[in-house]
Amino acid sequence: MKSSIAVVVLAAGAGTRMKSALPKILHPLAGWPMLRHVLDNVGRLKPGRIVGVISPGAAAVAAAFAPHRTVVQKRPVGTGDAAKAALGALKGHRGPVLVVFGDAPLVTAASMQRLVAACRKEEAAVGVLGFIARDPSPYGRLIVHRGQLERIVESKDADEAEKAIDFCNSGVMCLDGRLIDALLGGIGNDNAKREFYLTDAVVAARAAGHKAIAVDGEEGEFQGINSRAELAVAERALQDRLRAAAMATGVTMTDPETVWLAADTRLAADVTVGPCVRFGLGVTVASNVEIKAFCDIEGARIGRGAIIGPFARIRPGSEVAEDVHIGNFVELKATRMGRGAKANHLAYLGDADIGARSNIGAGTIAVNYDGYGKWRTVVEAEVFVGSNSALVAPVRIGKGANVTAGSVITEDVPAGAVAFGRARQTTNKGRAALLRAKLKARAAAAKRTKKKTTK
């Protein structure tokens, strides 16, 4: 039986180029901290243990690694030294040790698995994921001879011939757990930066008569993130990946580049998404849903056959049942819409339960906040709420009731009742001209007063 793998995630970098109080690896991509993407990807390999290497005092980073163990690299003197910091946490492990970086969230589980499998097959002490770079200048070069990886040369240490090589180091490395102490112990700091490079494990392995190999990968996976600009590039790359995955499972996007997904967005087959739609974290959409242009949805479940938008906002805690219509400029917050319910125009429904087949008229507001607490509005099934109504919570509208347009409802409405909650209209014939003259004179007087006070 093959030994399980262990994973070491190097996450002790300072991230100073991000210009942020937030640790670099906690900056979000598709709604998740980039470290979570790394942990999610390595987790797909089902490792026996995951160890994070962090800097001193990085409590927030340690918390993000939980429940996995973290160790501290006391001084920032290179990746080789960082990997050595993990040796105590790897004690007793005899299988492959995969070393990855916390700021490289685009490396896929499939690529890492290919590296581990190749190391096992070739019985290699060291394996490295490499790629052909369009611009190799920032990267370490992989020096391969007769199928064997001889060494990795950092860009600053490369001579002219080595700089011409375009097969580059991704930073992802697999080490034989039985040899890892000796391999890391053989790393020195005789280089331009006087640091202990993990890449020198290749030379240590070859010097001891062991095999080292390089495995090809795709350049797009190996983008590190050191600045806000690189974060934006990674976001776009990840979005392209998420969109492609969604469309491969039967989702239609009329303008994919304008649709923004979260890492955990779940769209069923035969969902149609219009242009300029954003999904935040925690969204699940059932089949045959149409989401029209310019919608913003977060923390919500959308039921089969619903129609959303355009210009709708659905906020966390909302549940939209089958065949619901949420129209233009309608906002839901922690609201449950029953099957077949409709809110087609210009409504705010916060902390509300809207029953099946009820209709919410244009301009309706569920008045959920009194300045101190938030309260629920309950609208039972088959209720008609007229336009421009205010439902002042806590309030309940009974089944089959009718709320007339322009009403302010402050008391419960029994089932089947008609509720009027507005002032009686008064009409004074022939008075419009007099009213206009009065208002005009008042405005002129106010203007003269203002002019005197500014002299």
| pLDDT one-digit tens code per residue, 117-146 | 999 999 999 999 999 999 999 999 999 999
With left for phi above 0 and alpha for psi between -120 and 50, is residue 257 left, alpha or beta? Answer: alpha
pTM: 0.89
pLDDT of 377 strictly over 70: yes
Return the structure tokens found at 437. 């003259």
Q: Is 143 helix (H, G, I), strand (E, B) or coil?
A: strand
Tell me what percent of the residues of the chain surpass a pLDDT of 70.
99
| C-alpha of 444 from chain center | 56
Indicate the helix (H) or strand (E) that contains 6: strand 6-11
For domain 6-222, which CATH number applies: 3.90.550.10, 3.40.50.300, 2.60.120.10, 3.40.50.20?
A: 3.90.550.10
Return the structure tokens found at 366. 């569920």
Q: Kindly tell me the sign of the dihedral angle through the C-alpha atoms of 141, 146, 147, 151.
A: negative
| pLDDT one-digit tens code per residue, 5-28 | 999 999 998 889 999 999 999 999
Q: CA of 426: how far to CAs of 364, 423, 429, 431, 434, in Å? A: 24, 9, 10, 12, 16
Distance separating alpha carbons of residues 282 and 290, to the nearest angstrom? 18
| pLDDT one-digit tens code per residue, 44-61 | 999 999 999 999 999 999
Domain parsing of the chain, residue ranges: 6-222, 242-419
**Helices (H) then strands (E): counts for the chain:** 9, 38
Return the structure tokens found at 449. 């007063």
**Cα–Cα–Cα angle for 446, 447, 450, rounded to 5 degrees:** 85
Q: Kindly tell me the sign of the dihedral angle through the C-alpha atoms of 103, 105, 109, 114.
A: negative
- Which is more confidently placed, 2 or 316? 316
pLDDT of 282 strictly over 90: yes
- Averaged pLDDT, 352-374: 96
Distance separating alpha carbons of residues 408 and 233, to the nearest angstrom? 50
pLDDT of 248 strictly over 80: yes
Distance separating alpha carbons of residues 183 and 22, to the nearest angstrom? 34
Return the structure tokens found at 312. 């709708």
- Check residue 1 and give its pLDDT: 40
- Check residue 444 and give its pLDDT: 93
Give the 3-state secondary structure of 419-439.
Answer: ECCCCCCCCCCCCHHHHHHHH
Q: Show which residues are catalytic.
A: 345
CATH of domain 242-419: 2.160.10.10
Return the structure tokens found at 243. 């969109």
Return the structure tokens found at 20. 């942020």
Q: How many residues does the chain have?
A: 455
Return the structure tokens found at 320. 């939209």
